[in-house]
Amino acid sequence: MKLAVYGKGGIGKSTISCNLSLALAKRGKKVLQLGCDPKHDSTFSLTGFLIPTIIDTLQSKDYHYENVWSEDVIYQGYGNVDCVEAGGPPAGAGCGGYVVGETVKLLKELNAFYEYDIILFDVLGDVVCGGFSAPLNYADYCLIVTDNGFDALFAANRIAASVKEKARTHPIRLAGLIGNRTSKRDLIQKYVEACPMPVLEVLPHFEDIRISRIKGKTLFELAENESDLDYLCEYYLSIADQLLAQPEGVIPNEISDRDIFQILSHFEVGDLSHSKRSEGDHLKTNLTEEFSWS
C-alpha cells in the first residue's frame, strides 16, 4: 500500500506521517517513509537527525546510479521504520516532481521500492502543480491533513481536485481527512457536507505532540517512558487500522473556489459576528448600568 500525505504548509503533516508510519509498523508492517520536501525534515522524529537526501547522494556520485547502494540513502528510524529524504532542487530552479521521480527510479534500481508493505510519501505543503502532485502517480490513497480553519480547508479542496484529476488515469483514491491541532470540527463538518469524504480522525491541540517533534522523537518513543501518552498514540493506531482495512476511498467532487469561499467564510464570519454581537450586547448592558445616572 502506498500513501501520499498532503495538506497546507505547517499543518503538521510530518509529525502525523512519522507517528502514522510507526503505528503501521506497530501493526506488523514493513514501512518506508519518503520525505518529499527540500527541508528534508520529514523523518526527523523517526531518526533524530536530518538524513542525507537522495539528490545530495546522487550529486556526490555524479548521478551514476550504479554507484549508489541502499545503505547510502535508506536509514533505519525508530521502530524499524525505514526513512528516505528525496530533497529538492536548488531554490528557484528545477522541479520537485522531478526529484520525486528520480527518488522512485533509484529505489526501483535498488530493488527497494517493492520490498515494503507500506510506503508513505510526506509531500511538501499545499502545492498542487503537476510536479508536486507526482506522488499521486504512485499512491493508492491520498490523506489530507487540515485544521478547522478556512485556509487549510481551502488547500484541502485544491488537493481534492488534484486527486480527482489524477484518478482519471491512476488508481488513486482519497482515504479521507485528518483533522489536526483543533478542538473544534464545525468548519471541517461544513466542508465534508459540501464535498463528501471520510474524516479519519480529529486530533486536538496537544502540547505533547509539539514537544515530541522538537525532541526529534515520535509519541510512541516518548510513551515508552511516559505511559500517560499512550492515549495519544491511539489516535494514530486508529488511522492505521482504518487504512489497513483497505477502505474503498472516494474520488472527490471538489467545490469551486467561489463556493468554498462562500460556504466557509460566511460560516466563519457568521460565528464571529454572533460572538461580536454577544460581546457588544454585554458591553452595552454594562455601559447602560454604569452611566444610568446621566
Binding residues for Mg(2+): 14
Q: Nearest 5°: phi and psi at 218? A: -85, 165
Phi, psi of 202, deg, nearest 5:
-125, 115
Task: List the grid coordinates of 120.
Answer: 508513505
SS3 of the chain: helix, strand, coil, percent, to 5: 50, 15, 35
Q: How far is CA 187 from CA 174, 179, 197, 205, 240, in A?
A: 19, 11, 14, 16, 24
Binding-site sequence positions: 10-15, 39, 95, 129, 180-181
In this structure, what C-alpha cell is assigned to residue 66? Answer: 550504479
Active site residue 215: no
Quick one: cell of 114? 517493492
Binding site for [4Fe-4S] cluster, by residue number, is 95, 129
Q: Which of 41, 82, 122, 126 is catalytic?
A: 126
Q: Which is the catalytic residue, given 26, 30, 39, 61? A: 39
Q: Which of 35, 121, 113 is nearest to 70 (CA)?
A: 113
Of 13, 166, 190, 217, catalytic: 13
Query: Is 2 an annotated catalytic residue?
Result: no
- Give SS3 for 6: strand
Listed in sequence order, the DSSP H helices in 167-252 are 186-194, 207-215, 219-223, 230-244
- Binding residues for ATP, as ranges, are 10-15, 39, 180-181
DSSP lists the bridge partners of residue 120 as: 3, 33
d(CA 232, CA 223): 9
For residue 8, what is the DSSP state?
S
Angstrom distance (rounded) from CA 52 to CA 86: 9
Q: Is 13 a catalytic residue?
A: yes
DSSP three-state, residue 84: strand
Q: Does the annotation mark 126 as catalytic?
A: yes
Alpha-carbon distances, residue 136 vs 100, 188, 223, 291 (angstroms) = 11, 23, 33, 64
Q: How far is 137 from 149, CA to CA, in rounded Å?
A: 28
140: helix, strand or coil: coil
Which residue of the set 2, 8, 166, 190 is catalytic? 8
Residues classed as catalytic: 8, 13, 39, 126
